[in-house]
Amino acid sequence: MVSNIPFYSFKEVNWRRRVPLWVILASVLGIAVVASRPSLVLFALFMSYALSGYVMWAGKGACARYFPKSDLFCYSPSYASGHAS
């Protein structure tokens, strides 16, 4: 399915760099939370990701409405990569 709504694609994440200790601890805590109630937590994560695209899209529209000629306030990674819709 193709959509004009911008969803975060995780392509900008550098998976090979060193990570701080707090990221590792947060990951372990996240796994523990998922293990406690897997169906509920995974459903909440998937729904939040599904809604995040619409929130970013609405935010970009509102930003363009209030700051029509400003890239400073309306910057997003999709503008930088040339995939602006």
Is it the case that residue 76 has pLDDT exceeding 60? no
Quick one: pLDDT at residue 63? 64
Q: Which residue has the higher pLDDT, 79 or 25?
A: 25
Q: What is the pLDDT of residues 11-55, one digit of tens each?
A: 777 777 888 899 889 999 989 998 999 999 999 989 988 888 888
Confidence band (pLDDT; 50, 70, 90) for 81? very low
Contacts (Cβ under 8 Å, ≥6 apart) of 73: 63, 66, 67
Cβ-Cβ contacts under 8 Å for 76 (sequence gap 6 or more): 6, 56, 60
Compute the average pLDDT of residues 56-72. Answer: 65
